[in-house]
Every structure is written in C-alpha cells, then in structure tokens.
Structure 1
Amino acid sequence: MKLKWHVITFFILLISFNAWGQEGPTPISLQECIRIAFERNADVQISRNAAQIAGHNYTASYSSVLPRVNTNYSATNFRSGDATTQQDVPVFDSTNTVVGFVNQEVTNPGFERNSYRASLDVGLDLFDGGAMWNNIRKSKADKNAAYHSLNVQIDQTITAVAENYLNLLKQEKLLEVNTLAVQRSQDNLDRSEKMFEIGSVAKVDVFRARVNLGNDRISLISQRNTVHQAKQTLNVAMGREPNTPLEISKDVNFDYQLPPLESLLNSAMDQQPEIKRREMELRSRELNVSLSKSSFLPSLSAFFSYGRSNSVFDKIYSDVNQNWSVTVGVQGSFNLFNGFQDMVNHQNAKLNVKSTQIDLEAYKRTLVSNISTTYQRYKDLLEIIEINKENLEAAKEEYRLATERYRLGSGTSLDVREAQVNLTDAERILVAAEYDLIITYAQLQEAVGDIQQALNL
C-alpha cells in the first residue's frame, strides 16, 4: 500500500512539474473555432470563390448590350526577288514598227513595298430576340444562387464546427465520468483489501475488485482515445492540421428560443438558404426558356469602321484629308433551318424548368419532415434529461446503500459492482443526453436557417 501511494505521489509531482514547465494551448471558444473555419475551411473558400466568379460573370453579361470598340494596327513589308519568265517579246524594224514576236527568257528585277494601316472599328448589337437582356437576368439569378449556395455552405460549416465542438465537450465530460468510475473501483478495491485483512470478506472479493478496476481503466483509456479523435475531427472541420494542439472553452452560449413547430416551418420556407438557392436556380432555368426563344427571331447589328492606310508611314498620321476610308453598315441574320436544333433546345429548356420545380417541392417536403423530426427529438430529449436526472439520484442512493451494506457484511461485492455500473451508466446517459440536446438544437436551427443568430454570430 505504501509503495502504491509513493508511486501515485511521484506521478502527481511529475504532472505538476510538466504543467508548470509547459504552457498548454489557450482554450478557444466556439465563436473563435467558427471564425477559424471561415478563414481556413476548404469548402467555404471554394464556395466563396464560386460566388465571386458568378458576380464577375454578371458584370460581364452587360457586354452584350454595350458597343464593341477595337483598334487595329498593321505594318507590312513585302519583298520580291528577280523573276525570270518566258515571254513573247516584240521585234521592231528600223522604223520602230513591230514586225513580229520572238519567245525568249525575260528577267524582271525584284522590288520592295511597305504597307501601313490603322483602323477604329465599332460594333453594336441592336436586336437579338431578347437574348441580351435575358442573359443579363439569368446571370443575375446565377449570381444570387451562388451567394445563397455560399450561405448554405457557411451554415453547414457552422453546424459542423458546433457539432464537433459540442461532441468534444461531451467526450471530455464522459472522460470525467470514466475517471470517477476508476476512482470508485479503486476505493472498492482498497475497501475489499482492508476487509479481507480483517477476515470480513473472502479473497475472491479482492480479485473481483481488481478485475473491475482493470476494466474501468481500460474504458478510461478508450475514452481518452475518443477525446483525441474528437479533437482531430474538430481541427479538420476548422481547416487545421488534425494533430494541432487544441483546448476549448467549457462555456457555450446558445440563444435558446424554440418557437412552436408551425412558426419554425414558416421561417424555414421564408429564409432557409437552400430553398433560396433552389428558387434562384428555378429562375435561371425559366430564363433559359426565354433565351431559347430568341433563336426563332432575327438578329440585327450595326458596325462602323474608320481606317487609314499608305505605303509611307508618316502619311498615316498626317494629311488627315487623304489616305482614309470609312465603312458604315447594318447586318441582319435570320436562321431559317438548322436541323430542328433550336426547337430541341427550347423543349429541353422547358423540361429542365419542370424538373427543377419538382426538385424544389420535393426538397421542401423533405425539409418539413426533417424539421418536424428534429423538433420532436429535441422535445423528447428534454423529457429524457429529466428522467435521467431522477435516475441519477436513484443510482447514487443505490450505490451508497450497496456500499454501506457491503461494509456491514449484509451485502455482496456483486451488489456493489452492479450499483456502481448503474451509477456510471446513469452519469454517462445524462451527459450524452444533455449534449445531444444542444447538438439537436443546433441542427434544428441550421435546418430553419437561424444557426448564425442562435450562436450570436
């Protein structure tokens, strides 16, 4: 016994020395974990980039209704070498009169020529069957859908971080429960050894107590590994390396306000970001139908070009009244037949609208079901917690009475062990239920679209 206490004292001093010599990581709050996830989480970063791209595409969509202005410059040098050809050469008499022709080889000397040109070209689409404006509207709908998708990803990331944060708190609390179980088993072993020494119990009680202590220590080690895994999972959710040192604050501030189920469902239909995203997707598909109709209408564009050209470079920029050309015109186009491709595109666009509508309504039904189920689970957990509190008090009293009876010799070690297991189970169930309640609340708020408000973000 003395050796055992000396070993325990040594480890306590060793732990104290390490704690004094090494400063652990500063505990961080749930809000700080979420802030880190906003900066580092890969899914959030990808969604943020996609939203920015959609915004840029919306800006670029206005290019179709604005004029196109281009300037062109060219400088050309053309060289030709001496060329030898067979030609009919006239033959002259003494009076310089052509009297015939003779075929002979003629060499033409080479030459070099420069050419310079500068032009300003302007083009503008006047009419394209409404495609220009419908494309702008579609780009706006796509941009809104992308930003709603970003909000969906943000809410999902917040919920994932909150769940993992709360799960880590739960596992740490369960570690405390396992530590208490080990302490109780150690106390029971000490008690059995003392009672065996005075002849009150048999040796088998001591062995049984040692086995119970060993089993509880194994459970403690397993729970310690579970805590380590929970830290890794939270680190990954935040976008950090899994083995980054992590300590979290025990205080969790939730805005616990749970209105009636009907109110939650109405709020979800009005503000849930995934519904908003799907509605914008439907709007985009509807505008695709309008875009497909433009193929059945003619298009009209206007163009203007002013150019200057000469073989002498200086004359391009001087003497503006010469060496210029102007082209002004309009151009129309009307597709008469392209193998039914326009008709097929229009029909497919309408079918895509129907499919998107069906998908939106199906999602709403699924969302109502999920919210209702989660809401009922939250209510059930409230009731379960109250029952578990009563069970815990009863288990504590059972353990106290079993221990007292064993000490007096009217109970057995099996009775003590059963009472101890019941007490530990009651503590575990209560801890799990309390944290499951908070996790369920976070899941419910995420489904409704209120997770940021619930976490006071």
Structure 2
Amino acid sequence: MNAFVIAAALAATPAPTPATTPAPPIDAAPVTPPPPVSSGAPISLAQVRSEGRQNVSAIQALLDVAIANEDVKLSRSALLPQISLDSSAGKIWFGRRQEFITVPDPANPGQFIRNAVETPTTSTQNYDLGMSLTQVIYDRARWKQLEQSGVVRDAQKDQAREEADTSELEAIRRFFTLFRTQATLGVLKATVERSEQQVERAQALFQAGRTGRNEEITAQVNLGTDRINYTSTLGQLVADQTQLAVWLARPGTEALSAEDPGVLTTEPPPAPSINEALASARVNRPLLKALGLRIRAAELQQSIARSEYLPRLIAQGLYNRGGPDATLVFTEPRLQNRFSAAVGLSWDVFTGLSTPASTRRAEADTRKAQLNLEQAAREIEGEVRAAHRRLEAQLEAARLAAQNVEAAALGLNVQDTRFKAGAGSTLDVRDAQLSLTRAELALLENRIDVEIARYTLLRAMGALSPGESK
C-alpha cells in the first residue's frame, strides 16, 4: 500500500468501540478517552488563497494604486482648459478731500490754471461679473509630468501584485500549518487507538495467565502518555486556527478547519527545472516590473527638469462686466461688456542655476533606480535558486519518509503477531508503535513542507497567481 494512503487512512480512522471494557488492574487509576477535536468552519485552500490576496497589507497596496490613479488625473487636469467664474458686489467710500482741477484762466484767454477744490464725503457702488479661460498650448514639463504619473501608477499596480503574492503565500503557509496540526492529531489519535488495543491484549493475556501484570501496567502507562501527547496538540490547533483567521481578516475567535487538499493521498509532482524557474521569474515577477517602471519614471523626471530650458505658451481669454449699477451689470446683456484675449510666452532665461541642479539630481535618481533593479534581480535569482533546491530536498525527504512508514508499519505488524503469540513483550510492541508514529509524523511534516516549498518557488517565479498579473 502507498505510504501516503497509509498516513491518510490512519489520520481518518475512527476510534474503535470495544465490545467489552476490561476492568483496570488493581491500584491503577482509570483513564479517560482523549477529548474530541472541536469542529470549526471548513475552509478550502482555494478560499484561503483568494482571501489571502485581500489581506490588510494587500488592500493598503491597492489603495496606493487608487491614489496613483488620482495623481494621473491631477496631472492631466493641468493640460485641460481652466475656466473660472467671478462675481462681486461692493461699495467704495471717499472721505472729504482736496483735489486740483484744471480750468481756463479768465484773465488770460487761452491759458489754464489749477484750482484747489474740496469735495465732500461721497460713496459709489461697484459690481463686477467675469469669466476667464486659460489653456496651455505648449508646456513640455506638464506633458512629461502626465506621462510620469501614468508610469508611477503602473509601477504601483505591479507593486500591489507583489504585495498580494506575499500575502497569499503567507495565507497558504498558515493554511498548511493548520492542516498539518489537524493531520498530526489524526496520527496521534491512531496511536492512542493502537495503545488502547495493546492494553486490551495485555489484559487478556494476563487474565489467561500468559504474561505478568507488569505488561498490563506498562501498556496502561503508554496509553496515558499517548493521550497526553494528543491533548497537548489541541492547544497548538487553536493557535494555528487563530493565526490563519487573523491573517484572512476574520475574527480572531473564529475556529477554522482546513479542508483536506488531497496532498497526503497523492504523489507530489516533480519540481520544474531551474532554468525554467529563473526564466519565469525574470519575465513574470511583479517586483522586477515595478522597478523597471521606476527607472522610466526617473528618466521622465530628467525630461521634466530639462524642460525648464524651454519656453511655455499659454492662451487666455477674459470676459468682464462691471459698473456702479447692479441692474446694468446683471440684467442688461447688451451693455457693460468687455472682452480680451491674449497668447502669453514665458521663458525662464536664468533661474539661478536651479535647472542644471535639478537635472543632475534626476540623473542620480535614475542611476539609483537602475542599481535597485540590478540588485533586486540578483536577489530574486538567489531566491529562486534557494526555493528550487529546497523543493527538491523536500521531495527527496518525503520519498524517504514514505519508505520509512512502510517499514515501520511492517515492523509493528511483526511485533503485534509475536505479542499475540506470547513470544514478545509490551516493550517490543511499544517501540514498534513509537517508530511507526515517528515515521508517520515525519512523512506528514515532509509532505506538507513539500507543498509550502512548492508555493514558495511559485511565488519567487512570479507564477503564484498568473491570472492576477494580467
């Protein structure tokens, strides 16, 4: 029988109900069966992967994408027509003042003189209604800013996919950690059941006079130890349930039960070749795409800085109505109208050497972005290589663990047969039981580690959720 099938069958075997319960030995404390595993809300691996991509960190990255998208709209708005409407109503008060007016000189015809005139306090009303239209005709810096904001938005999208992959991988790891604990409880429960059967055999042989009482007592002690191990693992189950629920943004009090993904009953597929893994990472890893776009954004910043050397052309139109009477300004469209239009050229000939400084700074930022990409590429290659080797090692370890389970099961069967025949001892059976339990737990541990290593490699390759990268 395949060792993976053996492990799954042992984990799912229900506790047998003995026909009769033999009386415990003299001076031996009665034992109780292990507490049952509390059932929780079932959750599948597919659900975990989907909800994992909606983790709080992933949602925050998506909000950064939304912010970047609005930045694109802000950059575009500077190139669209700017229309403003203004209206005002006010009053001006003039106190007493002296003014000089020019009048003809009555004593000298043809000549003029200036007379001082004192005017009383006066006031006048002022009403104004106007509209202005401004349109950028040519401004290289604004066009490049619009292009740059689009590149930054795309880079943020790739960064969000990188964060979503990270969140999904952590959700997968926590799911398999919970499933491993559940399966471990199954193995420990099967161990308890084997110990219960051993107690029954020891009691039967003692009552038949074929063994001493020490065999029965030893079997009882072994059974108690196995039940302690089982009960202790229940605490780890609750911790694993909590960690998974919290990562999926569920209440920390929600009890989850990992549905069997079928990994214990199937042979794991082989790992892809290292060349395939590296090629996939170079093409599909979102982080590399994001860093490549960061370089483009830095290059556009250079263009923005150099644009200060070029002139800017802006067209402006004004329409205004004004006067001292509100009726004339607001109800007589044929009167008080004034229109103006202009095309303005602005050219910063000298800016105190700020333009070359901005240009050199942008060039340095571009070089830094290039270095970040080169370093990230090297790190990702190392990440892929390490993940690939880890997967290969875990596959080999799982294969060896499966062979150990088959050998341990055979050894336990031999010792059971000898004990039933009166040729063996409880100690021999116990050693065989412990060997089988250790082998089953090792197989379980390695088989789960294979899946975690596989998903870790897929994440390093940028192939964890290919559909999300479109």
TM normalised by structure 1 equals: 0.82
Residue 161 (structure 1) aligns with:
171
Task: Give me the whole-angstrom Cα distance separating, in 1, the residues matched to 2:321 and 2:126.
Answer: 11
| CA shift in 2, pair 1:301/1:319, >3 Å | closer
Aligned to 1:222: 232
8 Å Cα contact 1:299-1:334 kept in structure 2: no
Q: Is this contact kept in 2: 1:374–1:440, CA < 8 A? A: yes
Query: 1:31-42, aligned counterparts within 5 Å?
Result: 31-38=46-53, 41-42=55-56
Map of 2:15 onto structure 1: none
2:276 matches 1:263: yes
Q: Corresponding residue for 1:125?
A: 136
Q: Residues 445 and 451 of structure 1 are in contact (CA less than 8 Å); yes or no, is this contact kept in structure 2?
A: yes
Identify if the C-alpha distance between structure 1 residues 252 and 61 changes in structure 2 by more than 3 Å, giving closer, same or farther: farther
Structure-2 residue corresponding to 1:61: 75
- 1:84–1:297 Cα change, 3 Å: closer
Distance 1:398 1:388 in 2: 15
Does residue 373 (structure 1) correspond to residue 386 (structure 2)? The answer is: yes
In structure 2, runs of 5+ residues without a counterpart are 1-20, 25-29, 100-117
Matching residue within 38, 42, 46 for 1:27: 42
Q: 1:196 to 1:329 in 2, by over 3 A?
A: same
Distance 1:58 1:86, change over 3 A: closer
Q: Does 1:306 align with 2:311?
A: no
- 1:73 corresponds to which residue? 87
The separation in 1 between residues aligned to 2:204 and 2:217, in whole angstroms, is 13
Equivalent residue, structure 2, for 1:441: 454
Query: Amino acid of the residue matched to residue 161 of structure 2?
Result: N
Correspondence for 1:186: 196
Is 1:402 aligned to 2:415, yes or no? yes
Q: 1:337 to 1:422 in 2, by over 3 A?
A: same
Deviates more, 1:132-141 or 1:180-189: 180-189
Structure 2 match to 1:115: 126
Task: String of CA shifts for 1:91-113, please: whole Å, max 9, x gaps.
Answer: xxxxxxxxxxxxxxx9944x442
- Name the SS of the counterpart of 1:451 in structure 2: coil
Aligned positions of 1:158-307 closer than 5 A: 158-198=168-208, 200-251=210-261, 258-307=271-320
CA 1:151/1:276 → structure 2, altered by over 3 Å: closer, same or farther?
same
Q: Does the 8 Å CA contact 1:33/1:161 hold for their aligned counterparts?
A: yes
Instruction: Name the CA distance, whole Å, in 2 between partners of 1:153 and 1:402.
Output: 53
Q: Deviation of residue 325 (structure 1)?
A: 5.2
Alpha-carbon shift at residue 437 of structure 1 (Å): 1.3
Equivalent pair of 2:271/2:388 in contact (CA under 8 Å): no
Q: Distance in 1 between matches of 2:98 and 2:349?
A: 52
SS state at 1:125 partner: strand
The answer for the alignment partner of 2:112 in structure 1 is none
Letter in 1 for 2:292: E
Cα deviation for residue 148 of structure 1 reads 1.0
SS for the counterpart of 2:465 is helix
What is the rounded CA distance, in whole Å, between the counterparts of 1:115 and 1:333 in structure 2? 37
Local SS of the residue matching 1:328: strand
Give the partner amino acid of 1:439. Answer: I
Identity %: 22
Kindly provide the amino acid, as one letter, of the partner of residue 422 in structure 1: S
Contact 1:34/1:238 (8 A) holds in 2: no
Query: 1:454, 1:344 → 2: CA distance?
Result: 44
| Residue 115 (structure 1) shift | 0.8
Aligned equivalents of 1:440 and 1:327: distance in 2? 69
Distance across 2 between alignment mates of 1:412 and 1:395: 17
TM-score, reference length from structure 2: 0.80
Query: What amino acid is the match of 2:429?
Result: V
User: What displacement does 1:75 show?
Assistant: 1.1
CA distance in 2, matches of 1:398, 1:3: 30
Separation of aligned partners in 1, 2:74 and 2:467: 38
Q: Distance in 1 between matches of 2:335 and 2:58?
A: 61
For 2:98 and 2:457, the matched residues in 1 are separated by 95
Pair 1:324-2:338 in alignment: yes
Moved more, 392-401 or 194-203: 194-203
SS in structure 2 opposite 1:401?
A: helix
Give the letter aligned to residue 307 of structure 2: S
> What displacement does 1:45 show?
1.9
Query: What are the superposed Cα offsets for residues 109-155 of structure 1, whole Å, 9 maximum, x if unpaired?
Result: 4x442211111212233444x21121111111111011112211222
Contact 1:445 / 1:454 at 8 angstroms: preserved in 2? no
Paired letter, 1:451: L
Q: Provide the residue aligned with 2:66 in structure 1.
A: 52
Q: Offset at 1:396? A: 1.1
Q: Report the AA paired with residue 29 of structure 1.
A: S
CA contact (8 A) 2:159 2:286 kept: yes
What secondary structure sits across from 2:350 in the alignment?
A: coil
Conserved in 1, the CA contact under 8 Å of 2:41 and 2:255? no
8 Å CA contact 2:22, 2:200 repeated in 1 = no
Computed over aligned residues only, the root mean square deviation of the Cα atoms, in angstroms, reads 3.5
Paired residue for 1:138?
A: 148
The equivalent position to 1:413 in structure 2, one of 426, 432, 439, is 426
Q: What secondary structure, in the 3-state scheme, does the structure 2 residue paired with 1:247 have?
A: strand
Q: Give 1:319 deviation, angstroms.
A: 5.1
Residue 256 of structure 1 and its aligned partner are, at CA, apart by 5.8
Is residue 83–residue 131 contact of structure 2 (8 Å, CA) maintained in 1?
yes
- The CA deviation string for residues 21-72 of structure 1, in whole angstroms up to 9 with x for no partner, is xxx665332223334445x521222222211221221122122322322111
The AA in structure 1 aligned to 2:171 is: V
AA aligned to 1:53 is I
Checking the alignment, whether the CA contact within 8 Å between 1:304 and 1:328 is kept in structure 2 is yes
* Residues 263 and 86 of structure 1, relative CA distance in 2, 3 Å threshold: closer
Q: Indicate if the aligned counterparts of 1:303 and 1:329 stay in contact, CA closer than 8 A.
A: yes
Letter in structure 2 aligned against 1:324: R
State the secondary structure of the residue aligned to 2:78: helix
Judge conservation of contact 1:285–1:353 (CA < 8 Å) in 2: yes
Letter in 1 for 2:350: L
2:188–2:226 Cα contact (<8 Å) kept: yes
